[in-house]
Amino acid sequence: MRRIWTIIGVDDVPGSFTWYQSLLGLPPTVPGHDHFGQICDSDGTVLLCLHAWGAHEHPSLISPEHAQPGNGLLLFFRVDDFDLSLARARTLVAQFEEEPHANPNTGTREFTLRDPDGYYVTISELNAA
């Protein structure tokens, strides 16, 4: 078995934690620490880790001043509740980066928004409608 833990630098771990749980329709919980939290699926699979900028000596997480959040990174979530995810997303941001559309390569619907730190987040339906 292999797993990847994607870790992103954020300004406000508890705030981003709540934002991602809302977007993904996960039950509200609190992060393990003020400087680090894991967004987990209902089966315990880690979907995303949130790390406070500068909380430790990780070279790529020292400061957002050294890298523009979202540059070269797309957080891409496949969901089985696309329509509910779309409704939740509309309550979290004023506008989308890409409105819902059918991806011609996958045949699935998707949309893209930005999280509170400026990262691009795409939500894609797990199966075509």
Q: How far apart are CA 53 and CA 124, in angstroms?
A: 28
pLDDT score recorded for residue 70: 64
Give the CATH number of domain 7-55+69-125.
Answer: 3.10.180.10
Per-residue pLDDT tens digits of the chain, which is 129 residues long: 778 889 999 999 999 999 999 999 999 999 999 999 999 999 999 999 999 987 777 667 767 776 666 666 889 999 999 999 999 999 999 999 999 999 999 899 999 999 999 999 999 999 765
Sign of CA pseudo-dihedral 85, 93, 47, 31: negative
pLDDT score recorded for residue 67: 66
- H or E element in which residue 122 lies: strand 120-125
Q: Where are the domains of the chain?
A: 7-55+69-125
